[in-house]
Amino acid sequence: MPQPRKRATIREVAKATGLSPAAVSYALRGMQVSEETIERVRRAAEELGYEADPIARALASGRTGTVGLLCGSLEDLWQQALAVRIGRALKDNDRYALILDAAGDPARERILARQLRDQRVDALIVQPVDPAAAFWAGLCEGLPVVAIGDALAGARTAGEVVFDNRAGVTLALEHLRDRGHRRVAVLTPTRASTPDRPADVHVLAEAGRLGMDIEVVTAPHALAAATEVADTVLSAGHRAFFCFADSIAYGVYAAATERGLAIPGEVAVMGYDDHPMSGLLSPGLTTVDWDIGGIVRAAVRLVMGAADGGTPHHGRIVQAPQLRERGSVG
Amino acid sequence: MPQPRKRATIREVAKATGLSPAAVSYALRGMQVSEETIERVRRAAEELGYEADPIARALASGRTGTVGLLCGSLEDLWQQALAVRIGRALKDNDRYALILDAAGDPARERILARQLRDQRVDALIVQPVDPAAAFWAGLCEGLPVVAIGDALAGARTAGEVVFDNRAGVTLALEHLRDRGHRRVAVLTPTRASTPDRPADVHVLAEAGRLGMDIEVVTAPHALAAATEVADTVLSAGHRAFFCFADSIAYGVYAAATERGLAIPGEVAVMGYDDHPMSGLLSPGLTTVDWDIGGIVRAAVRLVMGAADGGTPHHGRIVQAPQLRERGSVG
DNA sequence: GCGGTTCACTGAACCGTTTCAGTGAACCGC
DNA sequence: GCGGTTCACTGAAACGGTTCAGTGAACCGC
């Protein structure tokens, strides 16, 4: 096996400066040593091309300067956008994000969450697929976790940015009803096994209250696959859709267009999320906006507070929905 | 400092089975030990809830089962799609991807590439911002690197999936010229410092050959920002656009719509990439398709071959472009 | 000038694995 | 029954840092 390149170790820097490795270690982190020594060490390190090995550092100290970002399903364009923006915001805080994709699978979510903990991430941001899963409680011991979307049941998280899904669902369904749609197909994201998300529960409750006739169908986020599902639902006679993700609504657009059905004339579509592309379609997709910028800021603030070992605020931030009316509902 | 939860170590498993830690280590990886011992160790490990610590393992062995994925700019929807699909393909090969975002900045690209190497990724897939940077050569020693998009200059990569940008540019410019557009604004992705990408060079060469009048303008991928740039270019009188990423073309759509200019009647737009959303716009975005599925398959095949320590194939796969005509060029 | 601090630094243990170089025992052919 | 392999396993040294418990010197007030 060819050496993957010989790098300087902390011991060589120690030798070069006549100090002990311990002193070098402290100096490089600016602790407990004189200014002059710090400078000397810094110079020697530079000269030798020394850079601390993050793996060794992680093993010894248990910290990494890294934040895990576990997404529910990265096939969702909105979650993609969220991940990218959180990644950039963390970068501005000198952390770097490890982005992972649970692919809508609760089992995979459990595995990846554990894996991130074992990787010694300083904190974890998660958009849970199954917020009711039991393992969250254990995970939250000793690892600051910030949840986005739904709160984790029975877990001492370091913070949560939750969506007021009850309000969001009400907004969407009332809008559809006000425009004369009583019979509505609800397209909700596919999950490998299907824990009922709080949001789904609200749909049924609200539909009952509003006297609407609801059919819930699961659909994938990927455009081609969502289009297929939408097509099936169209052929079942549905003409009004409430999609639990803008990505899925795009599938309805595609399916309707394929069949030559006009939006909003013949088919009404309502989204949920407000992805930037939704405004570009014609007609624009009427949707429920959660203020992605605010979510990013809140999540990063919570996670930075927790990762620095500060007091676990347990901030709970509730996002209020806003109807973004664009014309896809007749 | 509260213990982040006491986990079983390999030594405890050794004690429980009456073996040495070394034997347990071998047994868990199914090497050099009797079937019976393997079974015994496995059972003890299960009982104690033992799971090998990936950090310690990485430090000792230098391997992690992880593949780094360094994206040029994750603000680009197409690159987002690529990253997600590569991530899922790697998962199917029992690796997991660390997705990082260079944010179009060559300096950051260098830092992150080094960081991934230090994290002991088994291999690196990179969509280079600056393929001509000198550090690639050093990085490729001892770390299998697969490049997507442009080949890395002077570096011994493990493989490349390169785009035939010359052909792609020709396709796009000829299409524009054939439809009567001689004066064309080329919107190319912003880069923090601006190494001329091979693709940009081709534009000028081809434009010369075709007798076209080209103005190159850089633009960000993010919709709002791209829209701003597009608006400026529109106000400078341009009415034909060749965007070096579909994401940027979306900005032209937005800007044109805002000004009440019809596509393709008053403004012609040509994209590059073919993101799924491009087919949903009206009119659909005419673009150059690179077969994202093929790219993913090729990159993953190359990286799996290299990561397993197999012969460094140095496969070079050249992607041929295909014109996807949808109606955004008059 | 003496006890008590503070300061700058050291030695050694430790983090949890892997891997290298053995080591005895069993087995082999002859 | 003897040299040579193979087999299953062990002990100890890595891997490259951090951290804990000192240690001696300088400095302090009184």
CATH of the domain at B70: 3.40.50.2300
> Does residue B106 fall inside a structural domain?
yes
Count: domains in chain B: 3
CB B303 within 8 A of CB B161: no
pLDDT of residue A275: 96
- DSSP letter at B324 equals E
Give pLDDT tens digits for A267-294. 999 999 999 999 999 999 999 999 999 9
- Asked whether residue B309's C-beta has any atom of DNA/RNA strand C within 7 A, the reply is no
Least confident range from A151-165, A237-251, B229-243: namely: A151-165
Q: How confident is the model at residue A195 (pLDDT cuts 50, 70, 90)?
A: low
Cis upstream peptide for A283 (omega within 30°): yes
* Cα distance between residue B243 and residue B250, in whole Å: 9
d(CA B82, CA B295): 8
Residue B177: its pLDDT value, please? 94
B61 occurs within a structural domain:
no
In a domain, B59, yes or no: no
**A226, A176: one domain:** yes
Q: Would A58 be classed as within a structural domain?
A: no
| Predicted local distance difference test score (pLDDT) of residue A154 | 86
**Cβ–Cβ gap B88/A100 under 8 Å:** no
Indicate if A33 and A140 belong to the same structural domain: no
- Cβ of A58 within 8 Å of Cβ of B55? The answer is yes
Cβ–Cβ < 8 Å for B190, B218: yes
- Round the average pLDDT of chain B to a whole number and report it: 90
Do A152 and A72 share a structural domain?
yes
List protein-proximal bases of chain C (any atom < 7 A from a CB).
7-12, 14-20
Could you give phi then psi for residue A269, rounded to 5 degrees?
-130, 135
Task: Give the mean model confidence (pLDDT) for residues B312-325.
Answer: 86
**pLDDT of res. B278:** 97
Is a pLDDT exceeding 90 seen at residue B147? yes
Of the candidate ranges A54-63, A298-307, B69-78, B217-226, the one whose mean pLDDT is the lowest: A298-307
Contact (CB<8Å) B54/A118? yes
Range of the domain at B273: 165-289
Same domain, B100 and B25: no
Q: How far apart are CA B170 and CA A131, in angstroms?
A: 51
pLDDT in tens, B125-139: 999 999 989 999 999
Model confidence at B312, pLDDT cuts 50, 70, 90, reads low
Which nucleotide has the least CA–C1' distance to A59? C15
Nearest 5°: the CA angle B77, B78, B81 is 90
B209 in any annotated domain: yes
pLDDT tens readout for residues B10-21: 999 999 999 999
Q: Helices A21-28 and A35-48 sit at what angle, rounded to 10 degrees?
A: 100
A200 — pLDDT class (breaks 50, 70, 90): confident
Q: How far is B309 from chain A (nearest CA, A)?
A: 10
**What backbone torsions phi and psi does residue A96 show, to the nearest 5 degrees?**
-130, 145
- Is residue A22 located within the same domain as residue A33? yes
The pLDDT value recorded for residue B203 is 80
Cis upstream peptide for A264 (omega within 30°): yes
A232 and A169 assigned to the same domain: yes
CB-strand contact A32/C, under 7 Å: yes
A129 and A220 inside one domain: no
Tell me the C-alpha distance between B209 and A143, whole Å.
Answer: 61
Q: What is the pLDDT of residue B2?
A: 35
Residue A3 belongs to a domain: no
A39 — pLDDT class (breaks 50, 70, 90): very high
Calculate what percentage of chain A has a pLDDT beyond 70.
Answer: 94
Contact in structure between A250 and A226 (CB atoms under 8 Å):
yes
Model pLDDT, residue B192: 60
Instruction: Tell me how far apart the alpha carbons of residues A44 and A40 are, in angstroms, rounded to a whole number.
Output: 6
Average confidence (pLDDT) over A29-48: 89
Residue type (1 letter), B231:
D
C-alpha span between A194 and B75 (Å, rounded): 31
Q: Is the pLDDT of residue B320 over 70?
A: yes
Pairing of strands B96-101, B240-243: unpaired
What average pLDDT does range A247-276 have in this prediction?
96
Which pLDDT does position B194 carry in this prediction?
56
> Which DSSP category does A101 fall into?
E
- What 3-state DSSP class applies to A66? strand
Averaged pLDDT, A4-21: 86
pLDDT at A2: 35
Judged by CB atoms closer than 8 Å, whether chains meet at B118 and A54 is answered as yes
Read off the amino acid at residue B173.
L
Nearest CA in chain B to A83: B74
Do A47 and A196 share a domain, yes or no? Answer: no
pLDDT of amino acid B308: 67
With CA of A8 and C1' of each nucleotide, the nearest comes out as: D16
Task: Tell me what the mean pLDDT of segment A139-145 comes to.
Answer: 89
Span A130-157, average pLDDT: 90
> In Å, how far is B85's CA from the nearest CA of chain A?
9
- Split at pLDDT 50, 70, 90, the class of A211 is confident
Chain A nearest-CA distance from B208, in A, is 34
Q: Does residue A119 fall inside a structural domain?
A: yes
Looking only at the bridges linking them, the beta strands covering B159-163 and B213-219 are unpaired
Interface test with B, best of A1, A66, A75, A99 (most B CBs within 10 A): A99
What pLDDT score does B1 carry?
34
pLDDT over threshold 50, residue A311: yes
Q: Return d(Cα A122, Cα A308) in angstroms, integer.
A: 8
Which residues is B322 bridged to in the sheet?
B289
CA distances, B196 to each of A53, B146, B188, B199, B203 (Å): 33, 21, 10, 8, 11
pLDDT on residue A205: 82
pLDDT class of A208 with cuts at 50, 70, 90? confident
Tokens linked to B71: 């994206």
* Tokens representing residue A176 in the block: 């559809």
Which protein residues have their Cβ less than 7 angstroms from some atom of strand D?
A 7-11, 21-22, 25-26, 28-29, 50-53, 56-57, 59-61, 63; B 18-23, 26-27, 32-34, 36-37, 56, 59-60
Q: Are A72 and A122 in a shared domain?
A: yes
Query: Which pLDDT value is given to residue A204?
Result: 79
Interface contact flag, B54 A119, Cβ < 8 Å: yes
The confidence score (pLDDT) of residue A193 equals 57
Q: Which residue has the higher pLDDT, B33 or B257?
A: B257
Share of chain A above pLDDT 90, in %: 73
Question: Is B317 inside any structural domain?
Answer: yes
Give the integer Cα–Cα distance in Å for B286 and B235.
23
Q: How far is CA B226 from CA A108, B105, B252, B264, B287, in A?
A: 36, 17, 7, 19, 17
Q: Look up residue B21 and give its two tokens.
A: 């830690």
Residue B204 sits in the same domain as residue B222: yes
Residues 58-97 of B with CB under 7 A from strand C: 59-63
CB A270 within 8 A of CB A181: no
Determine the pLDDT at residue B3.
Answer: 38
Give me the DSSP letters along B56-110.
HHHHHHS--SEEEEEES-TTSHHHHHHHHHHHHHHHHTT-EEEEEE-TT-HHHHH
Amino acid at B151: A
Task: Work out whether strand A159-163 and strand B213-219 pair parallel, antiparallel, or are unpaired.
Answer: unpaired
* Backbone torsions φ then ψ of A223, nearest 5 degrees: -55, -50
**Cβ proximity of A148 and B83 under 8 Å:** no
> What is the dihedral sign for C-alpha B109, B113, B119, B125?
positive
Question: Looking at the predicted structure, is the pLDDT value of residue A6 above 80?
Answer: no
Q: Quick one: B157 and B205 in the same domain?
A: no
**Continuous H helices in A153-236:** 165-178, 198-210, 223-235
Residue B61: closest C-alpha in chain A: A55
**Residue B209 CB neighbour total at 10 angstroms:** 11
Instruction: Please check whether residues B212 and B70 belong to one and the same domain.
Output: no
CB B170 within 8 A of CB B326: no
Residue A248: both structure tokens together: 């899925």
- The answer, yes or no, to whether residue B311 has pLDDT greater than 80, is no
Chain A residues in contact with B142 by the CB 8 A cut-off are 2-5
Q: How far apart are CA B261 and CA B275, in angstroms?
A: 23
Q: How many helices (H) and strands (E) does chain B have?
A: 12, 12
Of A224, A254, A277, the CB nearest to B250: A277
What percent of chain B is predicted at pLDDT more than 70?
94
